[in-house]
Amino acid sequence: MKDAAFQARDLVPAVCLLGPGLLTLFIASIWNGASDDKFLVMTPPGWSQGRTVALVRAMDGTLVRAGNFDNVVFAASPDPAFADRLRQGGAWLAQPAPLAPGCAAPSAKAAL
């Protein structure tokens, strides 16, 4: 049996699925109901909740709710540069976001 050589046409099914998938993600990110002053903040794994909250407060933000993981919190700030400052301070993700029920702890833990 002969080995079939890779050809560009072998990628056609994957590209046909990738295009609509990326378009759907793009549309969902635009119409996600996110508020401009509330942010989902994710810091590197291993950061304590206290360290994550301290970063938010150091950047003049306020804690809205703790997440299910110590390195995930919801924060608020009216400052348009808040997300950029969080990223410069060490946050992996600082994204405007609604308070999604799956990401928030049922009762906010006491944060330092």
Query: Do the domain assignments include residue 63?
Result: yes
CATH number of the structural domain spanning residue 73: 3.30.70
Query: Do the domain assignments include residue 101?
Result: no
What is the share, in percent, of the chain residues with pLDDT greater than 70? Answer: 73
Against a cut of 0.75, is the pTM above it? no
pLDDT tens column, 44-99? 999 999 999 999 999 999 999 998 889 999 999 999 899 999 999 999 999 887 76
Query: Do the domain assignments include residue 90?
Result: yes
**Nearest alpha carbon to residue 67 among 41, 109, 111, 105:** 105
Query: Do the domain assignments include residue 23?
Result: no
What is the residue range of 49's domain? 38-96
Query: Do the domain assignments include residue 66?
Result: yes
Query: Do the domain assignments include residue 3?
Result: no
Domain count, the chain: 1
pLDDT score of 80: 87
Query: Do the domain assignments include residue 14?
Result: no
